[in-house]
Structure 1
Amino acid sequence: MTTTDQPAAPTAVVGKLSRLDRFLPLWIGLAMAAGLLLGRHVSGLNTALEAVKVGGISLPIALGLLIMMYPVLAKVRYDRVAAVSGDRRLLVSSLLLNWILGPALMFALAWIFLHDQPGYRTGLIIVGLARCIAMVVIWNDLACGDREAAAVLVALNSVFQVLAFGLLGWFYLSVLPGWLNLSGAALDVSAWDIARNVLIFLGIPLAAGYLTRRLGEKAKGRTWYESTLLPRIGPAALYGLLFTIVILFALQGEAITSRPGDVARIALPLLAYFAIMWAGSYALGRAIGLNYERTTTLAFTAAGNNFELAIAVAIGTFGVTSGQALAGVAGPLIEVPVLVALVYVSLALRQRLFTTDVR
């Protein structure tokens, strides 16, 4: 998809999409259902999928994430990144939303909705600490957000994730509950493990995307690259997304389907979190004068979470059958359909709120 300077009606934007893009909510729903059924009814599948891991994550999921991110990062015009880096309103807003408001909001919602479920509560807090660095590039692209801004904010989140995840985990699970006379739980996570995940799941597709654009434009020019090559590799992003969803839900299908009541309880604070973070970030972007593309990017990068990291940390720290792990697994179960719906909300708001291209 392409980003234009002038806003277009959502029906016009959707009408230009391929069949794969246009019916994405349906494909995602089918992928989730297929994964749940596979995980529930195919014996030994979980063991086979978990046999080989990359950075603590199942190899099939790792491949799906890399395939998913590469085409979108190949679309980024890296010669425009400097202009994004100079936008202090965007960068400061993103840091505040992601590393102050987001974790604090999830902490509050976890205690409000799950005060009597310490395992699920801790799992949700971990989800809130894991800021999105992967799937957000898909939602941003579908909503016609600013690709260059998304690349910068994802890189920024990656750096802060390495530096701040463990510290914030200690604060929200040990220090703050003590101050508030609440019972907390310790979180033991290695900064190197987080850094390794960032290097693999952001570094590899980012380097591949950059080199593809640089070599492609050098060989045949930007016009050929964007009109011929990108349309050929572009669909791989959504194929990778659907594959990742199938494998993810296949791995956790039994846990989800065996405890539907618990999943429903976990879903309530997650729904509130995604709605508040996205709407609040979107309103903030509009209030500080960002254009549609950067407002959209700000909203999706603030609302999304790195559920791959959250699940890995929850399982590694508390065990695969723990309540913390189930809460982590419920994250993408709620996040994926909600953020897909918000793509369409964003496109609808584009026509109503952004009548001029302002920065």
Structure 2
Amino acid sequence: MGLFERYLSVWVGMSIIAGVILGSYFPAVFEHVAALEYAHVNIVVAVLIWFMVYPMMIQIDFSSIKDVGKKPKGLVLTLVVNWLIKPFTMAALGWLFFKGFFADWVDPQSANEYIAGMILLGVAPCTAMVFVWSQMTKGDANYTLVQVSINDIIMIFAFAPLTALLLGVSDIHVPWDTLLLSVVLYVVLPLVAGALTRSALDKKQSVTSSSEDHQAVNSFVAKLKPWSIIGLLATVVLLFGFQAQSILQQPQTIVLIAIPLIIQTYGIFAIAYFMAKRMKLPHNVAAPACMIGTSNFFELAVAVAISLFGLHSGAALATVVGVLVEVPVMLSLVYFANRTRHWFD
């Protein structure tokens, strides 16, 4: 792991602090950036998220999908957790806490937006950091690629209708044009661009040497890595800068949002890990499968939250809190998975 991955929680924390400070001292600057949007999609945030998503998409090898039939159980596990369990438990927890436990502390409109943000996190299975979690748990790299690839394909078709269904249950109007635009902008186009780039790099390498080791791909992704880091940290700074006034006026809101998100993360991992053990999966398949189901594609969730509800909305704040919560929690789950490897022997 590089310096960035090893201390990711530190960098994200520093970016959060920087965003809040800058947003409180220079609110006009952030208001100007917030106004730069097209079809309710902020242009600056869109560019930064592309910096993050594009390198990840290049790493996805869709040709590996043809081998999935040889070991289908791990794929079945992550698909069941991602699409049949996680979105609905996230919606249920959001409703339970913000319509129940926290109802006296949060106004109804804000509660609806916080629930919406949680739902957006729950409907977007992780694409990016899964590769890091898989590496840290000594997971099967090729199988992880298969899991991520198929999840991305399903997300193209399932994200919009499932999000609309769950947001509709929460009595929140969903503008389908904006939601579909976000899916195309943050999933479909990066996937296509990543696949074309990967194909071009492999063809270029095959002229001089074998492309099976994907050295050209790895080298190109390594060159893009600093831009991906800049995109992530700059996005966090912007998002917390947009929310600076709300955070300073209601710091307890961060804690309230974090509580159900933490419960959801540990709960989903427990369900997935138990199912993996009962299915007698090898640890190098079980651990990445559980990590994919547990973590979130927060880039997409943040983008859609901003597109649907606005940069200063409670939904956008909830998705950003998801970034803050996920990294340290996932690191603790990586530690747990490594300590319990013998359970799967």
* TM-score computed with the length of structure 2 as normaliser: 0.78
What runs of 5+ residues in structure 2 fail to find an aligned partner?
Answer: 104-110
The reply on whether 1:245 has 2:229 as its aligned counterpart is no
Aligned to 1:321: 312
Counterpart of 1:308 (choices 295, 299, 304) is 299
Cα RMSD of the aligned pairs, angstroms, is: 3.4
- Code of the aligned partner of 2:13: G
Q: Deviations over 1:294-338 (max 9, x none)?
A: 212211211122323333333333333332332233222222332
Alpha-carbon distance in structure 2 between the residues aligned to 1:65 and 1:331:
16
Whether the aligned pair in 1 keeps the contact of 2:51 and 2:231 (CA below 8 Å) is no
CA 252–261 in structure 1, closer or farther in 2 if over 3 Å, else same: same
Superposed CA offset, 1:179-214 (max 9, x none): xxxxx3332333631233212333323432343344
How far apart, in 1, do the equivalents of 2:129 and 2:91 lie? Answer: 23
- In the alignment, is residue 192 of structure 1 matched against residue 180 of structure 2? yes
Distance in 2 separating the partners of 1:246 and 1:133 = 19
Distance 2:143 2:38 in 1: 28
Tell me how far 1:265 sits from its aligned partner.
Answer: 0.6
Map of 2:330 onto structure 1: 339
Q: Deviations over 1:247-299 (max 9, x none)?
A: 22333331444421112111111001111122322332233222222212211
User: Letter of the aligned partner of 2:71 in structure 1?
Assistant: D
* Counterpart AA for 1:288: M
**Pairing partner for 2:67 from 83, 86, 90:** 83
CA deviations over 1:37-57 (Å, ceiling 9, x no partner)? 344434444246556669966
Task: Measure, in 1, the Cα distance between the counterparts of 2:159 and 2:323.
Answer: 19
Correspondence for 2:89 among 105, 115, 129: 105
CA shift at 1:147, angstroms? 3.2
Q: Decide which of 204, 213, 219 is 2:193's aligned counterpart.
A: 204
Q: CA offset at residue 93 of structure 1?
A: 1.8
| Local SS of the residue matching 1:29 | helix
- The 1-side partners of 2:219 and 2:129 are apart by 20
**What do the CA deviations read for 1:127-148 (whole angstroms, capped 9, x no partner)?**
2223333443343344443333
Residue identity (%): 26
SS of 2:175's equivalent?
coil
The number of residues matched between the two structures is 330
Contact 2:20–2:240 (8 Å) recurs in 1: yes
Shift of the 70–326 alpha-carbon distance from structure 1 to 2, 3 Å rule, reads closer
Alignment of 1:1-359 (within 5 A): 17-47=1-31, 49-50=33-34, 58=42, 61-69=45-53, 80-84=64-68, 86-115=70-99, 116=103, 117-175=111-169, 184-190=171-177, 192-193=180-181, 194-221=183-210, 226=215, 230=218, 233-234=221-222, 236-237=224-225, 240-241=228-229, 243-253=231-241, 254=244, 255-350=246-341, 352-355=342-345
Distance 1:94 1:142, change over 3 A: same
Once structures 1 and 2 are overlaid, which stretch shifts more, 92-101 or 157-166? 157-166
Tell me the CA shift for residue 23 of structure 1.
3.7
Displacement of 1:98: 0.9
Bigger Cα displacement from structure 2, 280-289 vs 65-74 = 65-74
Task: Quickly say closer, same or farther: Cα 1:118–1:76, change in 2 above 3 A.
Answer: closer
SS at match of 1:234: helix
User: Structure 1: where are the runs of 5+ without partners?
Assistant: 1-16, 178-183
Distance 2:328 2:210 in 1: 38
* One-letter identity of the residue aligned with 2:172: A
Q: 1:99 to 1:68 in 2, by over 3 A?
A: same
Deviations 1:55-75, CA, capped at 9 Å, x for gaps: 966555545544545555655
Tell me the TM-score normalized by structure 1.
0.76
Match of 1:9 in 2: none
Give the Å deviation of 1:105: 0.6
**SS in structure 1 at match of 2:174:** coil
CA 1:153/1:49 → structure 2, altered by over 3 Å: closer, same or farther?
farther
1:250 is aligned with what amino acid?
Answer: L
Q: Distance in 1 between matches of 2:12 and 2:313?
A: 27
